[in-house]
Every structure is written in C-alpha cells, then in structure tokens.
Amino acid sequence: MSWPPFDSPCLTPATESPGPLGPCLHCQIRHLAVCGVLTPAEVQAMDTVASLQVLEAGAVLARQGEQRRYVYTVVQGALRLVRLSADGRRQVSGFAMPGDFVGLSGAATYPHDIEALAHTELCRIGLDAMQRLGVQFPHLQGKLLERACTELDTAHDRMMSLARMNPTERMADFLLRLAAQQERAGTPGPSISLPMPRADIADHLGLTVETVSRCLTALRTRGLIALPSTYRIEILDLAGLKALEAA
C-alpha cells in the first residue's frame, strides 16, 4: 500500500457522511481487528450497527476533550493521534494503521485529536452499540480488554525506549515497529511505507525534524536502510537494525 504525501497546511473537520459498510465477513482487515474473534453468525450482529466513515487527508475525526460517541477500526489509510500539553506543546502520541482500534478508553472524552494522514476508511460503531455487543459476546469484550492491555504495554515500552535510547536508536526502533505492523497486515518488508511526514515522526520520538533527517541519513550511511523516496524506506539489514535498537 502506498501513501500520498501529507502536505495540507491546515486540518479540516470530517464532513463526509457515513454510509453502509458492507458485509463484515469480507472485510480485508478483519483478521487484524477486534471483531476477528467473532463467529460468522456473530459478525452479522455487528453488520447491523457498523457503518463506513471516509476521511480525506487532513480531516479531523475528533478533538481532544470532545465527548466519546464512537469507536473506530481503521480499514484503510492512517490516523495521527495528537495531544496538546497545558503549555500548548504538540505531542504525537501514536499512529493508527489498518486493523487498529481507536476510541477505546475509560474516559468520557477523547484524549487526543484524531486526524487523517491520508485518504482513510473507518469502520464506525456507536459506543453504546459496542458496549451491548461486548455484553452479548463476552469473547469480544475479552479481546477489547486484551487490546487495551497491549496498548498500555506498548505505551510503557515506548516511554522506556525514549528514556534509554539515543536519537538514532529511537529511529531504528520506530522503523522496526512500523515494519512489524505492516507484516501483521500482510505486507512484509523490506519496503516500509511512511504515511506521516518527518515533523510527525519528530513529535512522536521527542526529536527535532533536523535530527530525524540526520538519523535517517546515519542509518543509510551504515548500510542499514535505503531512502528511495520521502515516504518510503527500504530495510537492507534487518539484523543490523535490530542490533542497533537493542543496544
């Protein structure tokens, strides 16, 4: 899957109306999503409450602090999760890729701004409907809990990584996580698509844009990666990249 450049200088609200999702059984990312634990008969129940929402690059799905009304699964495209600190600093908390579940929280409001990085298609389910499905199908509720625990573990690992890694090691770790996500989605490397611009990577890793560029150049100089284009990276030495990330 290739990602178009993100060059819109402003973000616009999501204005496209949701439409019919179509049969969930034929969803191309169902094996990655929380609904993958449902039987075909149970998926039919989800069909009745799910709808498709389409965003174009730069559209805002939700704002930090807005009441949480829906949960989403990314079917195609990518989302950026952005949090603004009390002093106005921007932090990219993460990126949601195909199969990722967005909106799972114990809070009544969204903890992030949720923005589309590219043309993005979402499976949208009302929060009340999702809660009813969780009660009706306990194994779905179990999968939601598992996903929440995984996200907590990932967030903890990321904090530890930022604390102990130098900038080049942070970049290696980031590329390996992207490569692992794409492999789970059925598109293994060595080529990695970057749906996000360098500024987003910098805000995600706690670096400057200039440092991100220097890190990528350093990895290329070591023969670990190639940079065929701004939004694509090829891993040339996976073992070397993993050794650097684990240093």
- Cis bond leading into 190, ω under 30°? yes
**Residue 39 has what pLDDT?**
75
Query: Per-residue pLDDT tens for 144-197?
Result: 677 666 666 666 676 676 677 899 999 999 999 999 888 887 777 789 999 999
Mode of pairing for the β-strands spanning 59-62 and 12-13: parallel
Query: Per-residue pLDDT tens for 34-75?
Result: 676 677 777 777 788 888 999 999 999 999 999 999 989 899
**Residue 61 has what pLDDT?**
96
Run of H or E including 101:
strand 101-102
The sign one gets for the Cα dihedral 83, 84, 90, 91 is: negative
Please, what are the domains in the chain?
12-154 (2.60.120.10), 165-245 (1.10.10.10)
**Residue 247 has what pLDDT?**
65
